[in-house]
Amino acid sequence: MGEWPKGYARHVFDRVDSTLAEAARMAPTLAGPAWIMSTEQTAARGRRGRPWSTPRGNFAGTLIMPMPGDPAQAALRSFVASLALRDALVTCTGQAARFALKWPNDVLCDGGKLAGILLESVGPHLVIGIGVNLLSAPAPEAVEPGAVLPVSLEGAVAPEPFFDALAVAYDRHETQMRTYGFAPIRTEWLRHAARLGEVVTARTMRDETVGTFEDVDAAGNLILATAKGRVAIAAADVYF
């Protein structure tokens, strides 16, 4: 899986409230980027404050790093993290065909939700929280109606080897992003995008847009072809 990437600190805990919260506590003392993993989380959360179950055997990790440019550039790290997640899963399982990427920040396995990513800012730092159902998944009734159902790898991959593979993969894509910009990341992401060319629904707290998933633009927006023309969506939950 490669050696641990140079320049990244590595912290492994047995139990924390959440790796995002631990990253925020550690932020004032950090001299550079750091990866944090915990065997168990007791108060994890996902997007929009939704609870995220992390029993032992699943993966809970956070990367905290100096803010990489302006907020728009920082937001594009969700694509970097998505590619790194997929690469780590392929490395650990050898089963590339099973994994796809769902805009804006989920990884699917055999069509079900396997992993999620959450980006936040903590002062001058960006934190990227990652949860992966390596052992078990929440019950179907725990997710909102219409959402992609959660799945797991049922213990086929252990958390610490996955952690190492993820850090190596992230470093590779982050280096590519810093060297060449978003264009090659976008191209690679689209190669693995779920439901590209199909009709999807993008839903926000205020409205809903139905259209054919055509593209992701240079700013990371979802591009849908609708009855009223092409629409660029900056943030939404996507339903199949």
pTM, to two decimals:
0.95
Distance CA 177, CA 175 (A): 5
Q: Which domains does the chain carry?
A: 9-191 (3.30.930.10), 199-239 (2.30.30)
Q: What is the pLDDT of residues 158-183, one digit of tens each?
A: 999 999 999 999 999 999 999 999 99
Across 71-218, where does the E strand assignment appear? 99-102, 106-109, 112-122, 125-132, 199-203, 208-216
Q: What is the pLDDT of residues 82-135, one digit of tens each?
A: 999 999 999 999 999 999 999 999 999 999 999 999 999 999 999 999 999 999
**Nearest CA to 120 among 41, 225, 48?**
48
* pLDDT of 54 above 80: no
Distance CA 134, CA 148 (A): 17
Question: In which element (H, E) is residue 39 found?
Answer: strand 34-41
